[in-house]
Structure 1
Amino acid sequence: MSTSDRIFEVRNLDVSFELNRGASRVVRDVDMDIYREETLGIVGESGSGKSMLASSLLNAVVEPGICSGEVTYYPRNGEPVSVLELSEAELKRFRWEQVAMVFQGAMSSFNPVMRVRTHFRETLQDHNRDIPAGMDRARSLLESVYLDPDRVLSAYPHELSGGMKQRALIALSLILEPEVLVMDEPTAALDLLMQRSIVSLLDELQAEHDLTIIFITHDLPLLTKIADRLTVMYAFGLIESGTVDEILYNSSHPYTRALLAATPDLDVPVDEMHAIEGSKPDPVDRISGCSYHPRCPMADMHCENNDPPMEQISSTHRAACFYHEEAAEAIPLRGDGNNPKQKGAVHE
C-alpha cells in the first residue's frame, strides 16, 4: 500500500505506568501504519497490550499511564494531526468526530439510568450538532444495524439484549460520522451466532460509510472473517503483520505459528492440539533479547541477547524473528483441512 493511503502512522509508541513494584511497560516500541478503508485485525493473548494500543490511538490512556512516541492521524481533508499533542478540547472533538471507539461490554458503555435516546442527544449536543437532524440520523443508523428505532431509543439499556446493546453502541459511535472505528473486543460477551451477525454487520457498515476499522480481539478465527490485514502482538509489542493469507498460511514468527496451532477446533483430535508452553512476561520485568525467547523452541543465545527488528518478508508481510525463514519447518501447523480459514472463518 502507498504511504498516501495511510490514515494512521504510529512510531516509537510506548505506554507505561509507575507502580509500587516498578515501571510497567504495557506498549513497547510500536511502529505501524494503518490504511484508509481497511479492516486491520490486532490479535494476541490477554494482557499482550492490545487494548492499550487502541487507547493510544485516541490518546485515551487513563492516568497515571504515560503515552510517548508519535501517533499521526491523516484526515481525508486537512493537515496531519499529532494526536498525542492535542489539547483536551481538541481531543474531545477528535475522539467522536474523527475516530470513535466501541469498547468491550456494551452494558458498561451506557449509563443505566438514561434512555438510549438521551445518549444520542447528549453526544450531539456536546459537539454542537443540530439535534433534530442528528436524531434523524440516529434513527437511520439504528435501522442500518437492524434495530427498531422506536423501541431502542425509548428503552433503558437493561431492557435490551446483549446483541441489541452492542449494535446500538455501534450506531452511537457513528452518529458524528467518524472516519475510523476502533473496536476493542466488541463481541467478547456475545454468543457465536451474534458474533457472526456483528461481523457481517461491520462489513456492511464499512462499505456504506467508507470506514477504516481497527478490530482488536484474542479470537483469531473471528478476525479472519473480517480483516484485510492482521497484526499479532506479544509482550506489549508487535511481532508479525501481514495479509490474512500470509498470517494463516505463511506465518513467519514462532509465536504466531504456536498461536495458530493452539486455536481450538472441534474437528481436531485433542492430542493434536498444542498449548503454548510457559507464561507471558510480566509488564514490570525488563525484557532482554527477544521477548518470546523463554517460550520459543527455536531460541538460542543470539535470541536471548538481542531484540530482533521487524524484517520485511514481502511488501505486505513483516516479522520480528531472526529465524523467520526456518519457522515453517521448525513449527509445522495442523493440516490444511484444520486451518481456521477453511473452517468458514473468512470471507465467503
Structure 2
Amino acid sequence: MSTHEPTRTNDARTHEVADPILEIRDAEVVFEMDRGVSRVLDNVSIDIERGEVLGIVGESGSGKSMLASAMLDAVVDPGILSGEITFHPPDGEPVDVLAQDQEGIRELRWEDISMVFQGAMSSFNPTMKVGGHFEETLKAHEYDVEAGMERARELLADLYLEPDRVLDSFAHELSGGMQQRALIALSLVLEPDVLVMDEPTAALDLLMQRSILALLEELKAKYDLTLVFITHDLPLIAELADRLAVMYAFELVEVADSDSILSRAVHPYTRSLLNATPNLDAPLSEMRPIEGSAPDPVNVPEGCSYHPRCPLADEECVSQDPGFRPTHTEDHLAACFHWEEASEAIPFNIEREVNDE
C-alpha cells in the first residue's frame, strides 16, 4: 500500500466530498492509432463518497465503461491510463491505485474494489459450475474456502436465489436474471468496500431491472457498500443513486444529487438525454431523440465538446471550454456557459417526480 497523500488540485472539473472512498484526479486514457491519438477518457476528476450510490450515465461510447476500468487500473493494452486514483480503505493508509505492483493490484481488485460487467453469461466459464467460480476466487485470494462458501450461500439467499441449486448449476442452466444475481454474489464474496457495476441490467427486462435495483439497495445497507452504477438509462438509476454524474465525449458535463438532476438538470445534453429516454409516463410522440452523433475520440471538437449538437451553442462555446461551474447550488455543477437558459430552450417532455425527503 502506498502512503502517498492524494494531491488536491484546482481542476475546475473536480467535485470533492467530505469522506471520499475513491478520489479520481485528471484520469485520462489514450490509444495510439494509425489515424491519430484516440482519447477515450479526458481528464476526469471526481470524488466518490463512502457509502453513496453514484450513477454514471451517458450515451454508448461516452467513456463510462472506460472510467469504470480506470478505477481498478484495468484498462486493456494498448490503452495508456494516466492521472491519479486513490482508494481510502476504512482503516489504514490511502492506496495509490496506479502505483501498485501486480500483487498489489490483484489484492485491490475483488478484495477492495470489485466489478460486475455487462452480460453475466460471458463472465462465467461454461464448463464450470457456478460453485466452482466461487471456490476458485476464494482460493486465488487465499481466503478460507469453507467460510467463504458460507458467505456465498448467504449472499445468494440475500439475492432471493436457492444457494445449493445455483452453486450446483452451470450458468446456462440459469435464467438471465439468476445469472446476473449470481454474478453480483460472486463479486461480493471477498467482502469489497466498493462495487462497480457496468451496465449490469442492460440485457434484462424492465421488471428484472427494477428487482435487481431493489436488491442492490438491500445489499448496500446490509454490507455497508459503496456502489458505482454505470448505465445509459438515467431515469432507471436515478431511483437508486444518491448522485448522478453525466458523461459526454469522454468527460463529465454535469454532477449533482439525483433529485436535482431529475427536476432541474441544467446541461443541454442532460436535459436532452432525459427527453430521449423511453418512459411509461410519456407517449412515444413526446420522445425527442438527440440530433447529431457523439464525436469521434480522435477528433473531439474544440471548446465545449457538445456544441455541434447544442441548440444554445454560440461562438464562445465553439472556442472555449466552459469548465465545471456551480449553478443554482454550490453542489450542482455543470460544464456549460448557458446553463441558466437550458430549461427554457429544452423543456422536459414530462413532469418528473422527485423525492422531497
TM range (shorter): over 0.9
Matched, 1:194 2:202: no
Q: Which residue of 1 aligns with 2:343?
A: 328
Q: With structure 2 as the length reference, what TM-score do the two structures score?
A: 0.93
Distance 1:17 1:194 in 2: 36
Q: Which residue of 1 aligns with 2:120?
A: 106
Q: Which residue of 1 aligns with 2:303?
A: 289
Distance 2:285 2:136 in 1: 54
Matched, 1:66 2:55: no
- Secondary structure of 1:294's partner? helix
**Contact (CA 8 Å) 1:226, 1:347: kept in 2 or not?**
no
**Contact (CA 8 Å) 2:245, 2:256: kept in 1 or not?**
yes
Deviation of 1:2 (Å): 7.7
Of residues 60, 63, 80, the one that matches 1:46 is: 60
Aligned residues: 342
Runs of 4+ with >3 A deviation:
1-4
Residue-by-residue CA offset, 1:218-242 (whole Å, 9 max, x unaligned): 0112111111111100000000010
Compared with structure 1, are the counterparts of its residues 267 and 203 closer, same or farther at alpha carbon in structure 2 (3 Å cutoff)? closer
Letter in 1 for 2:272: A
Q: Which residue of 1 aligns with 2:271?
A: 257
Distance 1:233 1:105 in 2: 22
Q: Which residue of 1 aligns with 2:9?
A: none
Deviation of 1:13 (Å): 0.8
Distance 1:263 1:177 in 2: 35
Letter in 2 for 1:265: N
Q: Please list, as runs of the form range in 1=range in 2, the aligned pairs for 1:1-348 lying within 5 A after superposition.
A: 3-313=17-327, 314-336=329-351, 339=352, 341=353
Q: Which runs of 5+ in 1 are unaligned?
A: none
Letter in 2 for 1:124: L
Deviating more after overlay: 193-202 vs 261-270: 261-270
Deviation of 1:267 (Å): 4.0
**Contact (CA 8 Å) 1:96, 1:178: kept in 2 or not?**
yes
Letter in 2 for 1:222: L
Q: Which residue of 1 aligns with 2:7?
A: none
Distance 2:16 2:308 in 1: 37
**Contact (CA 8 Å) 2:249, 2:300: kept in 1 or not?**
no
Residue-by-residue CA offset, 1:284-337 (whole Å, 9 max, x unaligned): 11431100000001001110000111002223210000111221122211241x
Residue-by-residue CA offset, 1:176-217 (whole Å, 9 max, x unaligned): 100000000000111111111100000000000000000000
Compared with structure 1, are the counterparts of its residues 87 and 225 closer, same or farther at alpha carbon in structure 2 (3 Å cutoff)? same
**Contact (CA 8 Å) 2:29, 2:82: kept in 1 or not?**
yes
Deviating more after overlay: 135-144 vs 234-243: 135-144
- Secondary structure of 2:307's partner? coil
Distance 1:140 1:271 in 2: 46
Q: Which runs of 5+ in 2 are unaligned?
A: 1-14
Superposed CA RMSD? 1.6
Q: Which residue of 1 aligns with 2:11?
A: none
- Secondary structure of 2:89's partner? coil
Deviating more after overlay: 80-89 vs 180-189: 80-89
Percent of pairs with identical residues? 61
